[in-house]
Amino acid sequence: MRLTDLVNSVGSSVREVTNFIRYPWQNISRIAMRRAQDEYEKIEVPFGKKPPEKAQPVREYNTPQEKRNSKAGETPTPQEFLQKSNRVRGQIKEKETETATAVKITETKRLVRRKSRGGEDIPILPKEQELRGGRRGRYRIESLLKDGERVRLYQGIHVVNSKPILIKEYLLPDRDFNKQEARERKDKFERLASLNLKNGGGQDFRLVSPWDAIAPPNEKRCYLIIEPPIHNCITLREYLLKNGPMTPQQVREVLYQVLQTLWFLHTQKLRISSDEVQQGLAHGNLNLDSLAIAINQQPTAFNEPQFFIYVSDLALWEDLFKPPTVKIINHLPEQDLKALGYVSFYLLSGTDVHPISNQPLDPKIQEHWDDIKDNRLKKFIYRLLEIDPPFKTAFEARQALKAPAQEEIMDAPEEVFVEPDEIEKSKNYAILRGLLKFLAFGLIAWFLWQIILYILRAKPLPKLPDLDFSPKTCCLVEVDKVPTVPVTYTTEADGIWNYVLSNFSLVSYGKSLDQELKEREPRLANYTFNTAKQDVDVIEEVRAGRANFALTSYSDKLPDDLQQEEVAYDGLVVFVAFSDNKRDRSIPSALDGKITLNQLRELYTTGNLENWSPPAGIKKEIKLYMPLDNPKAIKLFEQLVFKGETPNEFIDLKQKVIREVIEEKQKISEGVVARINEQYDYKPGWQRQEIIEKKRRSLYEKKIDESYILGEILKDFEQNQTVGIGFGLLSRVFNQCAVYPLAVGGKGREVQALVQKVDGQIKPIEPTTDLCNDKGSYWPDVEAFNSERYPLRYRLVVVYPKDTQRGEAGRKFAELLKTDEGQRLLGEAGLVTLRKISQRK
């Protein structure tokens, strides 16, 4: 039996005694049944008993030292040696059998105890059952993954988009919690539902954040909804069972990543609930089960797989559902470091239990380190475990781990055996170092030679290629010297930056991107975002000093005293109705999923499209749509499609579309009046008129933007079989399935803005792609935007003064947005990132 099983067993007994005192009559029948069951279990069945003669080898090990010494000098015959070897193997096998039997008996007792609880058992959720009441939708149970005494884990999906999720079920059985205690747990659980583990680093520190939380008022359980960080994640315990011990180098990488996570967790401000912010938080539950590993199948230069370590199951959640009789300790950061020391020791050993004695491995026992030869790593783990002088913080431990290797002398040095694979790796490292030195010396020699030529010939030096060897910054918190003084920045009211920064729930539920940035990076607390008025030029606002910097689109005519730095992309997309990808009457299929720039110009000047045939039963006439209330999209269309020379036909077409929209709204308004007069005929006329005016005002104030077009274009196709073609900003229409974006470009060179993964390869989406059911499986083609292959793209920039002092805030803000974490946030908001960014890291 493991130590954890013994502790849980004792704890359970203590809880039952306490509950008996609190609820004596309710427990009498259950205790009687349990005692009867215990007596029944004492009856032994003669299976697996050792014959007396099999004990002989054990007596050999218990003989006095002098007898064993006397035998040491004798040379056994081959037959005696074989017999002795067989006896030892038999003994080990018997111990393993006994251990397995003990584990089975323990498990049987646990199941019997659970069955004896009768009506207090909380049933397992059946497959296909849906959970409602969360902030982010409905969830469906797929399968049960783990069934614990107090916690269960299910595989599930988000019903809205079929996205896989994990559902953690915390139980509140009556035997441990009365109604008042259960209600208090649920209230605190709901307050913790807004726990934000993204502040100051979030996903980039590999903390698994809760996605949603449900506390049903009439059930004895709560549900925590978790997004799996990556599809192939397994716990470190499962990894050890599958692969055995890690190498010292792998353990170093685990330590490095987890220490980075702990450094963030221990030092950053975390929003525990809507009205509670805490400075630093201890994990409190670090072990082989709360750490998960995701292995990247692409090997490194030395044929070692790369992996990421994700941290979950904070004590903040787990302690909440422990019975009131269990004393909850105050978790400290120092305890996290010690727990990490135990985890790293177990990773090196390949297990946390001794294979013979079945007792927990103890790093304080030198014999348990027999197979570990890396003395430097061993000393580091000693400090984590507080066997040697401990580290004060996770940051100090991480710095010590990164420090260059030094010669260290152990108190009792051992001869280190180097595996052949390690020798081969050392050779590879030596070769790589030699090549790097050769290249460095060659570059220096070439540079010196060019200087000599310059001096001799008095000619300018040739320009060196602009190579960027600096590593990309991972996280917001790693950008240094961010100004903390009050800063004001601005953008156009009708621009995409205003939409991205001000709209709620694009990147985080109930919050705007501006708020999310401030929560993740506290140094931005004094940064104020202002939207410029319609007739105000944001560039002039920066030049005049009324704003420190501006977020806008790239300008070819930027004043000489300003600098613009590219941070993201956006683009126009041309789209048609997407009703059902399995229909034979598919508009995307009829257009072969693409349209040329010449066809687009023809369409938006003449209203017709030559050389195409609509599906059977569909009208050939085309209805054109424009986001009239998004002047930025209209202006970009004129610049990118008509190259800035807007024809009169396009201007006339805009007026025609405006008239059609007004007529459509008038028609809808008449229907609203008739319906209200019929529905509210029992009310006085003046009350009906108030309702009518309110409905009319709401109808006419509704903007004709991309959202409006998406609904209209699909409605016209479904109801009237009308072929509709429209355009809008990619950031405003991405991740929906009402329309299909067409590939655009020169004839034969059309480029699709969205790509998907098919059979392990990245390919453009096609008219047969199910945009609704496959939502989340496609994304913008970063390479097409970055290389300018997509013809309707435009660049988004931060504009700031070139003056070092005045421009520092804008320069650092751009640097923050260009980090991996900043790019991921911009991508979640709908923009196209500068480079490919993994979903979670």
What are the residues facing 279 on neighbouring strands?
A: 269
pLDDT at 319: 86
SS3 category, 363 = coil
Distance, CA of 79 to CA of 340 (rounded, Å): 48
Distance, CA of 224 to CA of 166 (rounded, Å): 8
CB of 125 closer than 8 Å to CB of 138: no
Distance, CA of 447 to CA of 434 (rounded, Å): 20
Distance, CA of 745 to CA of 767 (rounded, Å): 17
In residues, how long is the chain? 841
Q: Residue 314: how many CB atoms within 10 A of its CB?
A: 23
Q: What are phi and psi of 279, to 5 degrees?
A: -85, 100
- Who's near 259: CB < 8 A, 6+ residues apart? 340, 394, 395, 397, 398, 401
Mean pLDDT within 771-777 = 66
pLDDT at 4: 44
CA 611 to each of CA 324, 586, 607, 720, 721: distance values in angstroms, whole numbers, following the listed order: 76, 17, 14, 23, 20
Q: Residue 595: how many CB atoms within 10 A of its CB?
A: 21
List Cβ<8 Å contacts ≥24 apart for 390-397: 390/334, 390/337, 390/338, 391/337, 393/263, 393/266, 393/333, 394/259, 394/262, 394/263, 394/266, 394/333, 394/336, 394/337, 395/259, 395/263, 395/267, 397/255, 397/259, 397/337
**Dihedral sign computed on CA atoms, order 422, 425, 431, 436:** negative
Distance, CA of 325 to CA of 5 (rounded, Å): 18
Written as six digits, the tokens of 422 are: 């390690």
CB of 500 closer than 8 Å to CB of 731: yes
Mean pLDDT within 197-217 = 69
pLDDT at 721: 83
pLDDT at 502: 92
Distance, CA of 155 to CA of 161 (rounded, Å): 15
Mean pLDDT within 452-474 = 49
The residue behind tokens 């979030």 is 202
Question: What amino acid occupies position 251?
Answer: V
Angle between the N-to-C axes of helices 808-817 and 820-828, in degrees from 0 to 180, rounded to the nearest 10: 70
Q: Residue 718: how many CB atoms within 10 A of its CB?
A: 12
Please name the residue ranges forming H helices in 702-753: 706-720, 730-733
CB of 479 closer than 8 Å to CB of 815: yes
pLDDT at 579: 63
263 has a pLDDT exceeding 90: no
Q: Select the highest-mean-pLDDT range: 252-266, 535-549, 582-596.
A: 535-549
Name which residue leads in pLDDT, 760 or 274. Answer: 760
**Burial class (CB within 10 angstroms; exposed 0-12, middle 13-18, buried 19+) of 741:** buried
pLDDT at 513: 93
CA 764 to each of CA 257, 775, 778, 812: distance values in angstroms, whole numbers, following the listed order: 35, 14, 9, 35
Is pTM beyond 0.85? Reply is no
DSSP labels, 252-318: HHHHHHHHHHHHHHHHSEEEEETTEEEE-------STTTEEEEEEEEE-TTS-EEEEEEE---HHHH
Written as six digits, the tokens of 269 are: 């401000």
Spell out the SS3 assignment of 630-672. Answer: CHHHHHHHHHHCCCCCCCHHHHHHHHHHHHHHHHHHHHHHHHH
Name which residue leads in pLDDT, 768 or 380. Answer: 380
797 has a pLDDT exceeding 80: yes
**Same CATH topology for 122-227 and 240-415?**
no
Distance, CA of 144 to CA of 170 (rounded, Å): 14
pLDDT at 51: 47
Tens digits of per-residue pLDDT, 388-434?
999 999 989 988 887 765 544 344 344 344 444 444 555 566 677 77
Tens digits of per-residue pLDDT, 534-582?
888 999 999 999 999 999 999 999 999 999 999 999 999 999 988 654 4
Provide the residue ranges of all domains of the chain, joining segments of one domain with +. Answer: 3-119, 122-227, 240-415, 571-750
Mean pLDDT within 74-103 = 48
- Who's near 353: CB < 8 A, 6+ residues apart? 2, 359, 360, 361
pLDDT at 711: 85
Percent of the chain predicted with pLDDT > 70: 74
Written as six digits, the tokens of 818 are: 């260009």
Mean pLDDT within 325-354 = 89
Hey, which CATH number is domain 240-415, 3.30.497.10, 3.40.720.10, 2.40.50.100, 1.10.510.10?
1.10.510.10
Q: What is the CA radius of gyration of the chain?
A: 34
CATH architecture entry for 122-227: 2-Layer Sandwich (3.30)
Query: What is the rounded average pLDDT for all residues in the chain?
Result: 78
Least confident of 114-118, 120-124, 142-146, 683-687: 114-118
pLDDT at 786: 94
Name which residue leads in pLDDT, 304 or 814. Answer: 814
Percent of the chain predicted with pLDDT > 90: 31
Angle between the N-to-C axes of helices 648-679 and 685-701, in degrees from 0 to 180, rounded to the nearest 10: 150
CA 546 to each of CA 385, 487, 600: distance values in angstroms, whole numbers, following the listed order: 55, 10, 41
Q: Select the highest-mean-pLDDT range: 36-45, 548-557, 610-619.
A: 548-557
Distance, CA of 482 to CA of 521 (rounded, Å): 10
The residue behind tokens 């931060």 is 798
pLDDT at 662: 86
Q: Which helix (H) or strand (E) holds 550?
A: strand 549-553
66 has a pLDDT exceeding 50: no
Strands 487-491 and 130-131: unpaired
